[in-house]
Every structure is written in structure tokens, then in C-alpha cells.
């Protein structure tokens, strides 16, 4: 198993972190060289599901420069004669440069991104012993094909981390995700449900964008992901605006079929116009079921815009008899609906990337996780 500083290098490569932000000051040449060669360049997983060639070129340029600096002492003399960089690293980097030059494009291409988290179980073709993995083909731009749904955002990482700490929330449960995007959170939930053999569980992933939903399905079915083994995985197109039409029975029929115990949503408040239909969908999904179970929603929102966040909470409050305007832990408690803050985490404290959104060096952004349910 790699020491923490070397694991950070591996994780940075797997999640396409900017090489300039990778910290290697305490790593010696042989350790870094072995990690780069054995765990990255020669990794069967990264050979089959590699980061984009643009990223690889930047990473290996940084890696070679860092290794070369470690072979030279402060006075410019060779420090260790045996500290030689494997020729395969140079050759691979040169081939990347030549291939990119021939293509001649500067637009970031979609890339496989691999997220790792500790489980103590070593999977087949593991990227690192004792870690599970989720690999997705993601956009490397904020918006692609007119949608932001083709990449993984911070709130999904923080909510996934919260669920991993509290597995009973989704194991042995019927789980529904609103706005599933390309499938990261769904993969985490699927892997957690597969670990529990007590009773069958189901997972329903929904999104309004058909291209996003197709990418989600493709990612979930990748054979490197445990999610491809899930026996009860369902993907559906769901338009929240259908919930605003009192005459439409399609969305009620969907919830009657899915019968969720748990509703998840991450970074779903990205536009003020979708807040009313989102809240209406939550109200319908949280309605008491005939079997006596009381569904619960966990919604994670990145604090990018306090006004938009407050707007979401105000709309949730419309379904209340009483409301608390201050952003305290308990935001709305009334005769029927409860909206409560259960966690607040800095974006860069997630275990999957250890960095902020879009590779920023530092950020004051945090993610709030809200628990929402109808009061008994």
C-alpha cells in the first residue's frame, strides 16, 4: 500500500487534478519513480480507462521535471547515479506530445475520471489495495452540449462521503436520485447496496436530459465498476416541471412504482426557475406510503449563491405551517414538513479528490446537506 503522499499523487492523476497543485516535497526519487511507473503508467486500469491525453501530457511533463530535479543536488551535481528515469516514461510522454500535435485541438476532450475511497476490500484489478473505485467518462468543460450534467460536481462528492459514513441510510433501501447526472453518486450507492446481503434493495436514477442519462447508464455499466453487477438498477427520464401540472398523473405513477424510502439530490438547485418544481417533486416523493414507511430526502447543495439557497428554503417553507427565517440547524419545523441541516463540509475536505471544485487552489465554498421529511 502506498504511503499517504504517494497515494495523493495517484489520486491526483486519477481525478485529473492540476499537476502544479500536487505536493511532493517529502517524497524521495525512488518512491516517486516507483509510484509513477508501477501504479500509474503500467496500471492495467489506467491503460483501459485513461485520463484524457491533454491531461496526461501535462501530468507527465510535470512528473519528468520533478523526477529530474530529484536526481540533482543543490550545487547542480548528480546526486545519485542510480537515480535514472525509466525510458518508458520518456517514450510515453513523447508519444503523447506527437499525437496531440497531429490532432491539433485545444478543446478539452471527455476523459475517464476514477474516484477512490477506502473500504478495506481489494477489488479485482484494483487501482490501490483496500480501495474501491468508481470510473466515469466525464466532460472536462463546465458546460457541454448545453448542459452542466456531464461532469461530477462537489455536492455529489460530499453527499457520497456522508453516505459512506452512514451506510444504513441506503443499504436495504429503495433509493431514488433526482438529477443523477453521469452517475457518480449512483455508483457509490450501488456499491454500498451490493455490500449488504440481508435484503434486496433498489436504485432509481433520474434526470431530465436524455444524453446525460445515457452517459450515466454507460458509466454504470462499465465492467470496472461494481454498479454493473447491481440486480435492481433503474434509469428513468424525469421532468420536474411535470409535478406542476395537477392534471398529469405520470409523475405520481412513477413514484407509485419506485416507492422510494430515500430520495437523494446533489447540486440540484442550479437555477432559480427550477426551484418550485423541484420542491413540488420532493413533496410528492416524500408523501406517506401505504405501507407505513416515511420516506426521507437528503439534499446536498454547494453554497455558491446564498440567495439561490435561501430561495430553495423559502419554497420548502411554503409547505409549512410555521417557518424559521434564520439559517439555523433546523430551518423549518411545522405541522407537516421538516427541513434540517445535518452536515456542512468544506469542498476540499472530500475524500475523493481532496481538492476544491474545478481544481481551484483554495476556496471558501462549503456543501450543506439537508434532511427533509414529513413530520409524523
Q: Please return the burial class of 303, using the count of CB atoms within 10 Å of its CB with bins 0-12, 13-18 and 19+.
A: middle
pLDDT tens over the chain, length 376 residues: 788 999 999 999 999 999 998 988 889 999 999 999 999 999 999 999 999 999 999 999 999 999 999 887 544 555 554 579 999 999 999 999 999 998 876 778 899 999 999 997 767 778 999 999 999 999 988 888 778 888 999 999 999 999 999 999 999 999 999 999 999 999 999 999 998 776 669 999 999 999 999 999 999 999 999 999 999 999 999 999 998 886 667 888 899 899 999 999 999 998 889 999 999 999 889 986 667 788 999 999 998 888 888 888 888 876 653 333 333 444 443 447 788 999 999 999 999 999 887 655 455 689 999 999 988 6
Helix axes 184-195, 210-220, angle to 10 degrees: 40
Q: Please return the burial class of 230, using the count of CB atoms within 10 Å of its CB with bins 0-12, 13-18 and 19+.
A: buried
**DSSP tally for the chain: helices H, then strands E:** 11, 10
Which runs of E-coded beta strand occur in 208-293?
233-237, 262-266
Quote the pLDDT of residue 137: 97
Give per-residue pLDDT as tens, 287-298: 866 677 889 999
Query: Residue 348 forms beta bridges with which residues?
Result: none
Strands 366-374 and 262-266 come out as unpaired
Q: For residues 96 and 58, what is the distance between their CA atoms, to the nearest angstrom?
A: 10
Quote the pLDDT of residue 335: 44
Kindly state the cell numbers that stand for 214. 445515457
Element holding 44 (H helix, E strand):
helix 44-48
Q: For residues 220 and 206, what is the distance between their CA atoms, to the nearest angstrom?
A: 13
Quote the pLDDT of residue 250: 85
Give per-residue pLDDT as tens, 332-370: 434 477 889 999 999 999 999 998 876 554 556 899 999
Task: Assign 3-class secondary structure to 167-178.
Answer: HHHCCCCEEEEE
Amino acid at each position: 500500500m502506498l504511503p499517504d503522499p504517494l497515494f495523493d499523487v495517484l489520486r491526483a492523476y486519477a481525478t485529473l487534478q492540476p499537476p502544479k497543485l500536487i505536493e511532493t516535497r517529502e517524497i524521495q526519487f525512488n518512491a516517486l519513480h516507483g509510484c509513477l511507473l508501477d501504479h500509474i503508467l503500467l496500471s492495467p486500469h489506467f491503460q483501459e480507462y485513461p485520463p484524457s491525453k491533454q491531461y496526461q501530457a501535462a501530468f507527465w511533463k510535470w512528473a519528468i521535471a520533478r523526477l529530474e530535479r530529484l536526481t540533482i543536488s543543490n550545487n547542480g551535481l548528480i546526486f545519485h547515479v542510480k537515480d535514472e528515469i525509466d525510458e518508458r516514461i520518456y517514450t510515453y510522454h513523447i508519444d503523447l506530445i506527437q499525437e496531440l500535435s497531429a490532432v491539433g485541438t485545444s478543446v478539452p476532450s471527455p476523459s475517464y475520471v476514477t474516484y477512490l475511497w477506502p473500504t478495506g476490500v481489494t477489488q479485482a484489478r484494483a487501482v490501490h489495495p483496500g480501495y474501491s473505485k468508481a470510473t466515469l467518462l466525464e466532460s472536462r468543460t463546465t458546460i457541454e452540449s448545453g448542459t452542466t450534467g456531464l461532469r461530477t460536481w462537489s455536492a455529489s462528492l460530499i453527499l457520497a462521503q456522508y453516505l459512506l459514513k452512514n451506510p444504513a441510510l441506503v443499504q436495504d433501501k429503495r433509493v431514488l436520485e433526482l438529477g443523477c447526472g453521469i452517475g457518480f453518486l449512483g455508483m457509490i450507492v450501488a456499491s454500498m447496496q451490493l455490500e449488504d446481503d440481508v435484503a434486496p434493495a433498489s436504485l432509481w436514477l433520474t434526470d431530465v436530459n436524455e444524453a446525460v442519462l445515457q452517459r450515466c447508464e454507460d458509466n454504470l455499466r462499465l465492467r470496472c465498476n461494481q454498479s454493473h453487477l447491481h440486480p435492481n438498477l433503474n434509469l428513468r427520464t424525469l421532468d420536474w416541471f411535470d409535478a406542476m401540472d395537477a392534471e398529469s398523473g405520470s409523475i405520481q405513477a412513477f413514484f407509485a412504482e419506485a416507492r422510494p424510502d430515500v430520495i437523494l439530490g446533489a447540486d440540484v438547485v442550479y437555477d432559480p426557475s427550477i426551484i418550485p418544481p423541484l420542491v413540488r417533486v420532493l413533496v410528492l416523493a416524500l408523501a406517506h406510503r401505504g405501507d407505513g414507511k416515511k420516506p426521507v430526502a437528503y439534499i446536498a447543495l454547494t453554497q455558491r449563491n446564498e440567495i439561490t439557497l435561501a430561495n430553495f428554503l423559502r419554497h420548502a417553507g411554503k409547505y409549512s405551517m410555521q417557518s424559521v427565517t434564520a439559517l439555523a440547524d433546523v430551518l423549518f419545523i411545522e405541522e407537516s414538513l421538516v427541513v434540517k441541516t445535518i452536515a456542512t463540509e468544506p469542498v476540499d475536505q472530500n475524500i475523493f479528490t481532496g481538492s476544491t471544485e474545478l481544481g481551484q487552489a483554495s476556496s471558501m465554498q462549503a456543501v450543506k446537506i439537508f434532511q427533509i421529511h414529513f413530520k409524523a
